[in-house]
Amino acid sequence: MSAIDQPPPSFAVRVPDAELESEPLDPSQVVSGQPEVTGKVLWESADGTRLRGIWQITPGVVTDVEADEMFVVVSGRATVEVEDGPTLELGPGVVGVLREGDRTTWTVRETLRKAYEIHT
């Protein structure tokens, strides 16, 4: 790993209180409701293939094609249906892993906030 790809110095962020920025959804992803997405990238590798951050979505139903991701739910509740795969029940304290290319449907019942690491 080159010096350019090194993570920043050690740090801590209080995830529930972090201020997030709007990340507009593609309208074709919205199945029902009026979900809104916000997030904050805390670190990104120089080549853009690794991300660490915080992400939030308000209630509604959306579809997505996933990246290779591991996350921890901090607050909220949702069900994630993986096409031809499992259905994941998400809530506070749950660790989730999504496989790159998974086609998912997220049914968000309570505004969900998670901390994540993604590899693309």
- Of 90, 73, 74, the closest CA to residue 82 belongs to 90
| Domain that residue 57 falls in | 3-119
Cα(84)–Cα(104) distance, rounded to whole angstroms?
Answer: 10
- What pLDDT, in 10s, does the model give residues 46-66? 899 999 999 999 999 999 999
Residue written as tokens 């993986």? 82
pLDDT of residue 9: 83
pLDDT of residue 6: 66
- As a whole number of Å, the end-to-end CA separation of the chain is 17
Query: DSSP labels for 22-38?
Result: E-PPPGGGEEES---EE
pLDDT of residue 1: 46
Radius of gyration of the chain from its Cα atoms, rounded to whole angstroms: 14
**pTM recorded for the entire structure:** 0.91
Dihedral class, residue 109 (left if φ above 0, else alpha if ψ from -120 to 50, else beta): alpha
Running along the chain, 120 residues long, what does each successive block of 10 average in pLDDT?
A: 62 96 97 98 93 97 98 98 98 98 98 97
CATH of the domain at 40: 2.60.120.10
* Count: domains in the chain: 1
